[in-house]
Amino acid sequence: MTDQTDTTRLFDRLNTLGPRAAAHRPWPRHVTDRTGWRTLIDDLDKDGGLALIGLWADADAGGVNVHAALRDETAGTGAVAVVTLPCPDGRFPSLSAVRPSAIRLERAIQDLFGVTAEGLTDPRPWLDHGRWGLRHPLADSPSPTDDSAAPPPYPVLPCEGEGLHQIPVGPVHAGIIEPGHFRFTANGETVVRLEERLGYVHKGVEALMRGQPVARAARIIARLSGDSTVAHSIAFAQAVEAALGLTIPPRAVWLRALMAELERLANHLGDIGAIANDAAFAFLLAHLSPLREAVARSADACFGHRLMMDCVVPGGVAPDIAATGPQRLLELVADLRRRFAPLVAVYDGKASLQDRTLTTGIIHRGLANRFAAGGFVGRASGRGGDARKSPGYAPYTDLEFEVPVLTEGDVNARVWIRIREVEQSLSLIEQIIRRMPGVPRGPDGITPPPLLRLPSVGEEREGMALVESFRGEILTWVRIAADGTVARCHPRDPSWLQWPLLEAAIEGNIVADFPLCNKSVNGSYSGHDL
């Protein structure tokens, strides 16, 4: 199979960089030195097919290690690997010159660990707004600071020229939205530059998880980004299970996918309505938000929570679906099919609405590639990636569905990707319910819940998972200590790779189209800010 050879190509390349670390699953992790890291930078420079899909650090008494997750996008499924650079002197060569997606990730690493990314093209602080009362919270020994004085002003990038004016927006926005700061520089109505400043909802998630039992850490992860609570919980659970070598009950695998598709459905229905509403077409929001409500109520009836928070846990799912759940979901699918199609026809038939969404907020394919953007952002710009297909995970490997791809890269394309994904999710929910393994019964008639106890392995283990949320691919990396607690966990929300593209999307558009562009990209503030 060609997949096999292609996959080996990436692994062969990494083998030359350094030895493979033990106990990292399911993909290999190689430990390199500065020379190897620089070779990697050269490789990234020359080979556009090598995607940077994550960049994070961890610290112990020996110093800070920086990890880069890579995927060979020209190869088949599974060509994923991690490269680690120990930085005992507190410095590492920056990847930002060859992969701009590294800029904010490295700024965050600098803020959290106190290491220096040499040659980082934008070295300003990112998550640290100078208000925490300490610096480098994830370093082995954080240093306290006196934050009683006002923090120094954040230098926004200069943008000068005749007739330019600035519009500062946020962090508190005018709707029921998460906080973040946007600095527009405009010439009349036309946006010349948008600069985002995020980090306002930084809650110290990674530090909170450190040293916690897995079950406690799972509750924190479930609250990383409420709209993707199921997907983040699945990613964390899969990473933990990979690390511990645990195979969960098949029924739990299928129930997780069922919840993930319900979550995708709810968010896409809400987004399509909200995007139309941002073009002052409130009709679609008024008709789509009841559909979203129908999904939330069904989720509540099936799993006891409207967002299905804490329903996916490492080891399986809790609780099992309610006895009446499958029938109720089949009725939901039939109902949504009947009500969704006419609304799509309304979207498609309104020239005045299309006038706002067509050719607005274009993200070019080359840029989407450089950022390895996934989800509706990547797929609207010609990138066909979907973690459910590649690397792929159960039960999706047994299910039939298509990953829609468009090439226009505008707001309209991002709406249509969502429309197509709603249709695919409806089909997936039906398939899952029809094919899900039944409730196993013990000989004594007792029904065991689809949940296993986590084994105690008595040694340090590492695991990683790539899971498709409604927004795109989540990467979660975890190190489990010998005592079974979480030594380090890094959840990389897809927003990290998508927020920067919004700055490019709005360029040359009018200020009034920003809500449309923003909602169509729909980055998570909380998921990004950690």
Partner 1 sequence: MFNHILRALTKGPVTEPAPSPSTDGLAELAGRVDAVSRARLGRSLSIRAVDAGSCNGCELELHALNNPIYDLERFGLRFVASPRHADVLLVTGPVTKNMAEALRRSWDATPDPKWVVACGACAIDGGVFAGSYACVGPVEAVIPVDLRIPGCPPRPAELLAGLLSLLEHSAAKE
Minimum CB distance to partner 1 smaller for 171 or for 449: 171
Shortest distance in whole angstroms from residue 343 CB to partner 1: 8
Is 206 annotated as ligand-binding? yes
Count Cβ atoms below 10 Å from residue 1 Cβ, excluding itself. 7
Shortest distance in whole angstroms from residue 350 CB to partner 1: 7
Helices (H) then strands (E): counts for the chain: 16, 17
Shortest distance in whole angstroms from residue 496 CB to partner 1: 16
463/466 Cα distance (integer angstroms): 11
389/41 Cα distance (integer angstroms): 28
Beta bridge mates, 51 = 71
Q: Which two tokens stand for residue 360?
A: 């607005």
Residue type present at position 84: T
Minimum CB distance to partner 1 smaller for 40 or for 474: 474
Of 423, 464, 482, give the one whose Cα is nearest residue 83.
Answer: 464
302/321 Cα distance (integer angstroms): 5
Binding interface with partner 1 (CB under 8 A): 129, 131-134, 137, 142, 171-172, 174-179, 199-205, 207-208, 219-220, 223-227, 229, 270, 283, 286-287, 289-290, 292-293, 296, 300, 306-307, 309, 342-343, 346, 349-350, 524-526
φ and ψ at 468, to 5 degrees?
Answer: -90, 115
Minimum CB distance to partner 1 smaller for 178 or for 473: 178
Of 222, 428, 244, 239, give the one whose Cα is nearest residue 311.
Answer: 222
3-state secondary structure of 17: coil
Minimum CB distance to partner 1 smaller for 322 or for 403: 322
3-state secondary structure of 389: helix
Shortest distance in whole angstroms from residue 527 CB to partner 1: 8
Beta bridge mates, 360 = none
CB 51 within 8 A of CB 372: yes
Shortest distance in whole angstroms from residue 372 CB to partner 1: 24
Minimum CB distance to partner 1 smaller for 306 or for 365: 306
Shortest distance in whole angstroms from residue 459 CB to partner 1: 28
Minimum CB distance to partner 1 smaller for 126 or for 396: 126
Q: Which two tokens stand for residue 459?
A: 């040694």
Q: Which positions make up the binding site? A: 206
Annotated binding site for Mg(2+): 206
